[in-house]
Amino acid sequence: MRFLVTGGAGYIGGILVPQLLSLGHDVTVLDTFKHGGTELAEACRYKGFTPVKGDARDLRLLDELTPRHDVLLPLAALVGAPLCKEDAIGAKTLNRDAVIELVKRTSKDQIVVYPTTNSGYGVGEQGKFCTEETPLRPISLYGVTKVEAEEAVLQAGNGVTLRLATVFGMAPRMRIDLLVNDLTYRAVHDRAVLIFEGRFKRNYIHIRDVAKAFIHAVENFDTMRGQPYNVGLSSANLSKIELCQRIQAQLPKFVFSEAPIGEDPDKRDYIVSNEKLERTGWSPDWSLDRGIAELIKGYTMLRNSRFANV
């Protein structure tokens, strides 16, 4: 199949795109490549890979590229509440409008698989799992724009949406701002962390299982069409404190403590059911503990030290 992946050079795209290529698909990536340009080095050896340097909001590019592909994966976004707060216009035009424009240009025979966040579930009910029927109540601009784009994808009738838990794991374009990646980074390099809202629970998923979910959605499109699916580890609905304990099990010198030093802009405190996706035959390969072990290895090599000698 021919895939168009906007934002394909990002954290998720850097893992997903080479996998699609290795399965024999053709993949066009439309990205600004603002993270250095080596994220997709692995993809260049495939004949079917075409990078297009450009903006996912450029309607001329969307007119040209959309009809030429069978599967559209709109990944380009300003990802996370803090980044969207910094650039509200960018968030609305890229996270919402560009997805609406892309969907408008698709026909009913094309497939759209759209990743959104499960942070829209916000403050969950104590002990009650959020399912795909649970109302979405996003608070941050990031959550709001992602939910609006998801609605457009589902309304068009030729899409599947994946409501991703907090993603973790090593990737060519690394993101150490994601919770598991962040706490493990601090555990490796600082040996200590102060957390806030330590009892707030969330769900987590390894990046390679996210890639597996995209491929699964395309391969099972006829049964999954028109529906949202939570994508997370049913074995990992954990609070931040429990997450720290899991990291500590592998790094016994890691010390953590709690203090009211911050607040989550999306008030994320919920447990999520991933049963709907599991019933379609998808299952994760990566446990949280395996992902933490992978991160510890990765951080032995990776350190943010732009303004230091070590």
Ligand X SMILES: NC(=O)c1ccc[n+]([C@@H]2O[C@H](COP(=O)([O-])OP(=O)(O)OC[C@H]3O[C@@H](n4cnc5c(N)ncnc54)[C@H](O)[C@@H]3O)[C@@H](O)[C@H]2O)c1
Please pick, from the candidates 117, 158, 184, 203, the single residue that binds ligand X as defined by CB under 6 A.
Answer: 117
- Assess contact for 66 and 4: CB atoms under 8 A: yes
Among 175, 186, 208, 212, binds ligand X (CB under 6 A): 175
* Residues 54, 4 contacting (CB under 8 angstroms): no
Cβ proximity to ligand X: between 117 and 273 the closer is 117
d(CA 282, CA 39): 27
Residues with Cβ within 8 Å of residue 301, at least 6 apart in sequence: none
Residues 94-113 binding ligand X (CB under 6 A) are 94
Among residues 77, 112, 188, 292, the one that binds ligand X under rule CB under 6 A: 77
Residue 302 corresponds to which tokens in the numbers above?
A: 């990776």
How many chain residues are in contact with ligand X, going by CB under 6 A?
A: 30
Work out which of 12, 102, 233, 292 binds ligand X, going by CB under 6 A.
12
CA terminus-to-terminus distance, the chain: 46
- Pick from 10, 18, 120, 143: which binds ligand X (CB under 6 A)? 10
Q: What order of strands is seen across the sheet that includes strand 201-206?
A: 166-168, 201-206, 237-239
Nearer to ligand X, 117 or 274 (CB): 117
Nearer to ligand X, 167 or 193 (CB): 167
Residues in the chain, total:
310
Burial label, 63 (beta-carbon count in 10 A; 0-12, 13-18, 19+):
exposed
Residue 35 is a binding residue for ligand X (CB under 6 A): yes
Is position 31 an interface residue for ligand X (rule: CB under 6 A)? Answer: yes
Q: Which of 24, 34, 222, 252 touches ligand X (CB under 6 A)?
A: 34
Candidates 27-35, 245-253, 269-277, 292-300 — which segment interacts with ligand X by CB under 6 A?
Answer: 27-35
User: Which position has the token pair 């503990």?
Assistant: 289
Question: What's the closest the beta carbon of residue 255 comes to ligand X, in angstroms?
Answer: 26
211 binding ligand X? (CB under 6 A): no
The stretch near ligand X (CB under 6 A) out of 52-60, 184-192, 215-223, 258-266 is 52-60
Find the shortest distance in angstroms from Cβ 175 to ligand X: 6
d(CA 166, CA 177): 11
Q: Is 298 in the site for ligand X (CB under 6 A)?
A: no
User: Binding to ligand X by residue 136, rule CB under 6 A?
Assistant: no
User: Could you give the CA distance from residue 247 to residue 188 in angstroms, rounded to a whole number?
Assistant: 10
**217: enclosing H helix or E strand:** helix 207-219
- Residue 7 touches ligand X, criterion: CB under 6 A: yes
Q: Which of 3, 4, 5, 9 binds ligand X (CB under 6 A)?
A: 9
CA–CA separation, 47 vs 27, rounded Å?
10
Report the residue number, 1 or 61, with the smaller CB distance to ligand X. Answer: 61
Q: Which one, 24 or 213, has the nearer CB to ligand X? A: 213
**Distances 203 to 88, 135, 287 between C-alpha atoms, Å:** 27, 17, 12
Q: Is 238 in the site for ligand X (CB under 6 A)?
A: no
Give yes or no for residue 55 binding ligand X (CB under 6 A): yes
Q: Which long-range contacts (CB under 8 A, 24 or more apart) does 245-248 make?
A: 246/288, 246/289, 246/292, 247/183, 247/184, 247/187, 247/292, 248/187
Interface residues with ligand X (CB under 6 A) are 6-7, 9-13, 30-32, 34-35, 55-57, 75-77, 79, 94, 115-117, 146, 164, 166-167, 173, 175, 178
